[in-house]
Structures are given as C-alpha cells and as structure tokens.
Chains A and B, each alone.
Chain A
Amino acid sequence: MQLINQTWILFKKEIVLEWRSKYAFNGVLLYVVSTVFICYISFNLNPGFSGSKSYSIVWNVLFWIIMLFASVNAIAKSFMQESKSRLLYYYSIASPQAIILSKMAYNILLMSLLSFLALLVYMVFFTNTIGDPLFYFLTVLLGSISFSTVFTMISAIASKAGNNGTLMAILSFPVIIPVILLLIRLSKNAMDGIERSFSYNNIGVLFAINTIVIATALLLFPFLWRD
C-alpha cells in the first residue's frame, strides 16, 4: 500500500515538473515532427514513390524506426537529468521500487501521448489506408508501453555508467529488437486488416517480454541505485 502511495506521489511530481518546463514533451515532439518532415522530403525526391508496390511496407517500418529513435531520446533523459543530490533525496524518502515504477508510469504516459501525436503528424504527410485503425492504435499504445519499460531500466543503468547517449543506444538496441520485430508484425497485420485472432499470439509474447522486463527491473533496481 505504501509502495502504491509513494509511486503515485512520485508520478504526480514527474508530471508537475514536466508541466512546468514542458521541455521533454515539446523537445521530443519537435524531434518527431522534423524527422517525419525530413523523411517526407527525402522519399519524395524519388518520383513515383507513393504509388510503388512496397509503399505500405516502408510506411509501417519507417514509422516504428522514427518512434524508436524518438523514444530513446525521450526516455534517456529520465534518469540523466536528475542531479545526484536530488536522487539522494528521493532515495531517503521513498523505496527504490516506487522510484522505478513511477518513472516507468510517467514514461508510458509521455510516450503514449507522443506516439499518438506522432502518428497523426505522420499520417498527414504520408497518406495510407489502415485496414483496422483501432487495432493499429492499440499496437501503437502497446509499443509505447514496451519502449517505456525497457528504456527506463536501460537509462537507469546507462546513467550510472558515464551518462552518455552512445551507451544508452548500445545497451538498449539488442534488448528492443525482439520488441520492435513483434510490433512491426502486429502493426502490419492491423494495416492489412487481417483477422485479429491471428495477432493474439504476438500480443501474448509482447506482454510476456514486458512482464519479464518489469520484474527484473523491480528486482535489480534496488541494487543499482546504491552507490
């Protein structure tokens, strides 16, 4: 009970802090929009691209790659921007599990909002018909949740080890590849409007990966924060 209380208070604190500065949200949103625009311009240098056969495949894969890099950038900040003394203060008043859970919850919220906005912007520039829009949105939501859980734990590790972006990418990409494979498969199914029951298997594995990541994060984070 105390854990839930602490998590809730820390979660509210994260939102209030973000609401005051709006730095992470606006920064990453601008990052996504400019990336989408760069992709739009680069792809349209080749005439006939939007009519080509592989357009829908590229559309789907490109969206996930943009989201991957955007979320690495967004979530890498979650531990790095905290000063050492402030972290020490948190640890003296809250349990380590509450800290990692609140960070994860906050990142899930941030990433879901960002992904939906990014998807809207993306669909304005790259027009495409989605066979099963509701299921595609669900996949995007699942993607934001999975990215957030994995990257939060990795950013905690990376922030303890030198605080640089390269390390964050090296450590997180092998872990995120199985997730992104499943997501691309899922969203492809949703885009083609394939019967939903074919995708339940993949959703199950995605949930399993998330459960493993959250469980190991809860077990390992108490060891990580102690200096």
Chain B
Amino acid sequence: MPAQLSMRFIYQTWWKVLAVVVIFYTLIAGFLFDVPHLPILHETIRNTYFHVPMWIAMFTVFTISVVYSIKYLNTGDEKYDLIAVECVNTGTFFYVLGLITGMMWAKYTWGAFWSNDPKQNSAAIAFLLYCAYAVLRNSIDEEQKRAKISAIYNIFAFPIMVVLIMVLPRMTDSLHPGNGGNPAFGKLDMANSMRVVLYPAFIAWSLIAIWIASLRYRIRLIEYKKNEIN
C-alpha cells in the first residue's frame, strides 16, 4: 500500500508548484533579507541558502535510493531498481552542485578552492563511493544480477557515506561549522532571521531533487517498457 501511495505522489502537481514557489522565495529572500554581518564571511554568508540545501537534497535522494534498494531485494521488482539508480544519479548531480558552491565559497573565505579540509576530503571520498556504484553497474550485463548486486552495494555504501560526511569530520579540526569545536547551526551564531529562509530552502531543494529523479525514472520506465519483449 505505501508503495502505491508514493507512486501516486510523483504524478501529482501540487508539490512541484510548491517547490518552485518556495525556491523563488528563497532566491529573493536570500539575496534581499538582512543577514548578520560577520568578519571574513561578510555577504558570502548568503551562500548558506544555496550550498547547504544542495547537500540536504543529495541526502534526501540517496536515502530514497537506499529505501528502494531494500525494496528491490525484498520483491525483485525491476521498477524499484530503476528508482534506486535514478535517485543515485540525481544525488550525484546535487553532490557536484554542492561541491561547486562550496568550493566557490571556500575561495572567498578560506583563500583556496581546496584547502585539505576534512569535510571536503570526506566528500571527495563519498563521491568515489558512488562512482564505484556506477562502474559496478556497468560491469554486469545481466539485468537482474546487475540490479541485485548494485542494490547490495548501495545499501552497503550508504552507512559508510554517513560515517564519512557526518561523523569523521567532527572528530578533527575542520573549517566547516559544527566540526572540531566550531559552532554549528544549533548554536548562537545562526541568526533566527536566517532560519526563515534556510529551512524552507532545505525542503524545496529536496522536492526539486525528488522531482528530477521522478522524471528520470519515468523516462527510464518508458524505455524499459519499450524494450520489453511481449
């Protein structure tokens, strides 16, 4: 039953309209609203509204991908594999966007595009994980075997990715907030006026990611049905 519900969800319009409206709101509010004036950061603090939501969107689609990989292993339904792979593809796209926005921000605040920051390095390794997933898929010709083995690797890689990005950088000194004793979102340095824009941006960009993934999935599904032998 829940499977049918989520399938119906991707064909509905209201949340896509909502996502677009909220993104326009974060664009306008993000550039116009008052932000705290901090040394070093200055106006680049507005990048918070664009850099962080990319990662949240990536996590959202990667999580959905793992859920569908588990579903695939339980049922063997080819559709679930298509959803999982398209979610990973979309997540990788948002990963690249998050990395680029982060690198540009780093250039202006930390002085270099890449400054050996633990979180940057972890993110690079996490990218290798998902590249490996893509290579693994290409290495197997037989469809069902490919779906099964890549689902297993996807489930196996996800907790490692979470450890890499969320746990390890917190244990050493990092330039990123929330790591190595730096204050995080929950602490005092985050002005309440920023939350008004940031949290809607999280939701809106996640919805956009789901939308892209669902479109790609639907294209895949058409191709899949076209290639079917009846």
Contact = CB atoms under 8 A, between A and B. Distances in A.
Contacts of A209: 160, 163
B65 to A, nearest CB: 15
B157 interface: yes
B167 A160 contact: no
A202 B167 CA distance: 11
Interface string A81-122: 000000000000000000000000000000000000000000
B106 interface: no
Contact of A161 (B129, B139, B167): B139
Interface residues of B, number: 28
B149 A202 contact: no
B88 to A, nearest CB: 14
A194 interface: no
Contact of A201 (B140, B155, B163, B171): B171
Nearest to A202: B171
Contacts of B157: 174-175
A217 B152 CA distance: 9
A213 B160 CA distance: 8
Interface in B139-159: 139-140, 145, 148-149, 151-153, 155-157, 159
Contacts, number: 79
Given A167-B135, A167-B136, A178 B149 contact: no
Interface in A199-227: 201-202, 205, 208-209, 212-213, 216-217, 220, 223-224, 227
B167 A205 contact: yes
Nearest to A221: B152
A26 to B, nearest CB: 31
Listed from nearest, the 3 A-B pairs whose CB atoms lie closest are A174-B128, A174-B129, A223-B73
Contacts of B160: 174-175, 178, 209, 212-213
Q: Which of B122, B156, B171 neighbours the largest number of chain A CB atoms within 10 Å of its CB?
A: B156
Given A173-B128, A174-B129, A216 B155 contact: yes
A160 B153 contact: no
Given A177-B125, A202-B171, A205-B167, A224 B136 contact: no
A178 B132 CA distance: 16
Interface string B63-85: 00000000001000000000000
A45 B171 CA distance: 38
Contacts of B132: 170-171, 174
A162 B136 CA distance: 10
